[in-house]
Each structure stands twice: as structure tokens, then as C-alpha cells.
């Protein structure tokens, strides 16, 4: 990120305040957990370890046990893998496709831009959770279907965002100079446009990640996301919703996990250096 910040100060980047650093630390924590989950889980994920279901928080089971008596800590750690993994994969695909097309549309313009923009705007006006329902109804739910569906839903927004930024940069004199020099479209996009929109695009990436985490959790909560025996955080809430009436940790802990991730991303973005953030608003 340092290499891309417009306000490069010669060495490692910019000042970030404490809130931003805390946000970044929590995000990093969940990423590490997502990767290392199988090795750091205290119990096998699917194993029933306690005769008591909806067990309370104890020294043996830090986050209590779920509706079958499985260890919640292990399930939340493994859940991170699904929630973070699927969301990250989707947002990466969505932003890669959206930003690439957006920059191409801005640079080429003409009918390519007009048709693509109109089409993606229409796609953008489909409520995302509802479209998720339709697709899951049609083809069933698997992780690859989830990733692709979510990516399709969020690519148009990313396209629109990147295109608007790229159109502004494209009107700058240095891009005109490159054109007059005879540079091709690919060079112009890669060297002149992209470095100048990367900051806001990264902030947008983060926001979109939050939306995707929320959408995925929502889908899983409805039973249409990650399917049993696997469970992401949304599915964990669904499984254990029966424990809600007596406030079991099994239903509260995964909810807190989701909130901690999404709020951290927001904290990080809101505290990015102003130069990056302003452009993204």
C-alpha cells in the first residue's frame, strides 16, 4: 500500500492514528486465524465434546458449546476460514473485473463505454440478497457458486466507482501527453491511470468487502450460504438461533466475530490518510 499512496513521503508511508491501527490489527488477526484455523483449534470442528448443549463459557470451552455440544471456539476459528475466505475471494474477483473494465471504458470511451455502463447499471439495480436467493434456488449452494454469484453482484459497483475515477484522471494533461506520444491503451491504463486511482480503489475494496461479509452472513443465516457440516459465522448464528432465548454464547460469539471484522474494516478505512479517503467519498 505504501508504494501506491499518492502522498509518499520518501520512506514507509504515512501517519495513521491509533483507531486505524487497531482496525488493521483486528483484520490481520482474522486473516491469520483463517489460514491457521485447523492447527490452532483446540478440538476437531465436527466432534461432539460435551454432553451438554448450549454450554456456557468455561475454562475448557472458552466460547461455550453449540446446539450439539461441539466446541464453539473451534467452530468460530474454522468459520473465519469460510467468512474471510469466501468474502476475500469474491471481492478480489469483483474488484479486479470491475476496476479493469472501468479503466478500459474510461480510456476507450465511445460505444464500448456506453453499452457496458448501461448494462452494468441495470445489473447494479438488482437487490443483492434477493439475487443471491434466486441463484441459490436455481443452482444450489456451493462455495464456488457463492463466490461467483457475489462477485457478479459486486463487480458493477466496483466498475462504476473505478470508471468515475478513471474518467477524471483520463482528462488530465499527463494522460494527453502519453496519448500524443503514441502510447497504447494498455500502457496508458497501467502506467498513467491505475497508479492514480489505486488509493481510492483500495478504500472501495475494503467497503465492498464489508458489504460482502454482510451479504454472505445473511445468506448463510437464511440457510442458503455455506452448507452443513461446514459453517461460516452466519451459519453458526443460524444453527444456534435456538439458544437465543436464553442468551447462549453459541449465538452471540459468531455475531460478535462478524461485527468485529466489519467494524474494523470501517475503522481502518475511515482513518486512512486523508488524501486516499477524500477521493473515495
Partner 1 sequence: MGNIIEIRDLHVKAKTDSGCVVEIIRGVDIDVADGEIVALIGESGSGKTTIALTLLGYTRPGCAIAGGEVRVAGRDTVTMSDADKRALRGTEVAYVPQSAAAAFNPSKTIMDQVVEVAKIHHLMPLQKAREKAVELFRALALPEPETIGSRYPHQVSGGQLQRLAAAMALIGDPKVMVFDEPTTALDVTTQIEVLQAFKSVMRERGMAGIYVSHDLAVVAQIADRIVVLKGGEVQETGTAEAIIHHPSHSYTKALIEAFHPNGRSLENQAPSAGLEPILEVSGLTAGYGPVGPDGLPKFVVLKDVALTLERGRSLGIIGESGSGKSTLARVIAGLLPAARGSIQVDGVPLGDRVQDRSKDELRKLQIVFQLADTALNPNKPVGAILSRPLTFYHGMGGRAREAEVDRLLDMVRLPKALKHRLPSELSGGQKQRINFARALAARPEAHLMRRNHLGSRHGGRCRHSGSAGRIAARTRPHLHVHQSRPLDGRGGLRPGRGDVSGREGRRDADKPDAVGRRASLFETPDLIRPQA
Partner 2 sequence: MNALVARLVAKRLGIMLISLLIIAFAVFFATELLPGDVAEILLGQSATPEAVAGLRKAMNLDQPAFLRFLSWLGGLLTGDLGRSYANNREVADLLAGRLANSLELAFVTTLFSVPIALTLGITAAMFRGSTYDRFVSVFTVSVISIPEFMVATLAVLIFAVYLKWLPALSVANDVQGIGELLRIYAMPVITLSFVVSAQMIRMTRAAVIDTLDTAYVEMALLKGASRRRIVLRHALPNALGPIVNAMALSLSYLLGGVIIVETIFNYPGVAKLMVDAVSTRDLPLIQSCAMIFCVSYLLLILIADLVAILANPRLRNQ
Binding site for partner 2 (CB under 8 A): 118-119, 121-123, 125-131, 133-139, 210, 214, 217-218, 221-224, 234, 237, 241, 244-247, 251, 255, 258-259, 262-263, 265-266, 270, 281
Nearer to partner 1, 9 or 118 (CB): 9
Which residue is listed with cell 459497483?
157
Residues 6+ apart with CB under 8 A from 63: 57, 71, 72, 73, 76, 249, 250, 253
Q: Which residue, 21 or 259, has its beta carbon nearer to partner 2?
A: 259
Distance CA 76, CA 33 (A): 10
195 is an interface residue for partner 1 by CB under 8 A: yes
> CA Rg, the chain, in Å?
22
**190: contact with partner 1 by CB under 8 A:** no
Q: Does 183 bind partner 1 (CB under 8 A)?
A: yes
DSSP lists the bridge partners of residue 102 as none
If the CB atoms of residues 6 and 218 are measured against partner 2, the closer one turns out to be 218
Between the alpha carbon of residue 28 and those of residues 109, 124, 219, 268, the distances in Å are 39, 30, 25, 11
Closest separation between CB of residue 123 and partner 1, Å?
28
CB 180 to partner 1: min, Å: 4
Closest separation in Å from C-beta 5 to partner 1: 9
Residue closer to partner 1 by CB (options 173, 246) is: 173
Please tell me whether residue 121 binds partner 1 under the rule CB under 8 A.
Answer: no
We find the least distance from the C-beta atom of residue 268 to partner 2, in angstroms, to be 12
With contacts defined by CB under 8 A, how many residues of the chain interact with partner 1?
Answer: 23
Closest approach, Cβ 225 to partner 2, in A, equals 11
Residues 14-53 binding partner 1 (CB under 8 A) are 14-15
192 binds partner 1 (CB under 8 A): yes
Q: How far apart are CB 250 and partner 2 at their closest, in Å?
A: 12
The answer to whether 118 contacts partner 1 (rule: CB under 8 A) is no
Q: Which CB, 42 or 187, lies closer to partner 1?
A: 187
| Cα 58 off chain centre by | 32
Using CA atoms, how far apart are residues 181 and 3, in angstroms rounded to an integer?
A: 26
Buried/exposed code over 41-55 (b: 16+ C-beta within 10 A; e: otherwise): bebebeeebbeebbb
Q: Which of 1, 7, 122, 134 binds partner 1 (CB under 8 A)?
A: 7
CA–chain centroid gap for 66, Å, is 27
Cβ count within 10 A of residue 67: 15
Kindly state the smallest distance separating residue 20's Cβ from partner 1, in Å.
13
Closest by CA position to 175, among listed 163, 193, 162, 190: 193
- Expressed in angstroms, the distance from the first to the final Cα of the chain is 19
Q: CA-CA distance, 277 to 100, in Å (whole number)? A: 21
What region, left, alpha or beta, does residue 148 occupy, with left being phi > 0 and alpha being psi -120 to 50 degrees?
alpha
Footprint of partner 1 (CB under 8 A): 4, 6-8, 14-15, 172-174, 176-177, 179-183, 191-192, 195-196, 273-275
Amino acid at each position: 500500500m505504501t508504494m501506491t499512496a499518492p502522498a509518499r513521503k520518501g520512506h514507509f508511508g504515512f501517519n495513521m492514528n491509533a483507531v486505524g491501527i487497531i482496525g488493521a490489527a483486528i483484520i490481520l488477526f482474522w486473516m491469520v486465524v483463517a489460514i491457521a484455523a485447523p492447527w490452532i483449534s483446540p478440538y476437531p470442528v465436527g466432534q461432539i465434546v460435551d454432553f451438554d448443549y448450549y454450554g456456557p463459557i468455561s475454562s475448557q470451552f472458552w466460547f461455550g458449546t453449540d446446539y450439539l455440544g461441539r466446541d464453539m471456539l473451534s467452530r468460530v476459528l474454522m468459520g473465519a476460514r469460510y467468512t474471510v475466505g469466501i468474502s476475500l475471494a469474491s471481492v478480489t474477483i469483483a474488484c479486479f473485473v470491475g476496476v479493469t473494465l472501468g479503466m478500459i471504458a474510461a480510456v476507450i470511451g465511445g460505444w464500448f463505454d456506453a453499452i457496458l455502463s448501461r448494462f452494468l447499471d441495470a445489473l447494479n439495480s438488482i437487490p443483492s440478497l434477493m439475487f443471491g436467493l434466486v441463484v441459490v434456488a436455481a443452482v444450489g449452494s456451493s462455495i464456488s457458486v457463492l463466490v461467483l454469484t457475489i462477485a457478479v453482484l459486486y463487480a458493477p459497483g466496483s466498475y462504476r466507482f473505478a470508471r468515475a475515477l478513471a474518467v477524471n484522471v483520463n482528462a488530465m494533461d499527463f494522460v494527453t501527453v502519453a496519448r500524443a506520444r503514441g502510447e497504447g491503451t494498455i500502457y496508458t491504463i497501467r502506467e498513467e491511470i491505475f497508479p492514480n486511482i489505486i488509493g481510492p480503489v483500495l478504500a472501495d475494496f475494503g467497503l465492498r468487502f464489508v458489504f460482502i461479509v454482510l451479504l454472505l452472513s445473511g445468506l448463510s443465516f437464511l440457510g442458503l450460504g455455506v452448507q452443513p457440516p461446514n459453517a461460516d459465522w452466519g451459519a453458526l448464528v443460524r444453527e444456534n438461533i435456538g439458544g437465543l432465548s436464553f442468551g447462549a454464547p453459541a449465538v452471540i460469539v459468531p455475531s460478535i466475530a462478524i461485527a468485529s471484522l466489519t467494524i474494523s474494516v470501517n475503522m481502518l478505512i475511515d482513518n486512512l490518510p486523508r488524501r486516499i479517503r477524500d477521493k473515495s467519498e
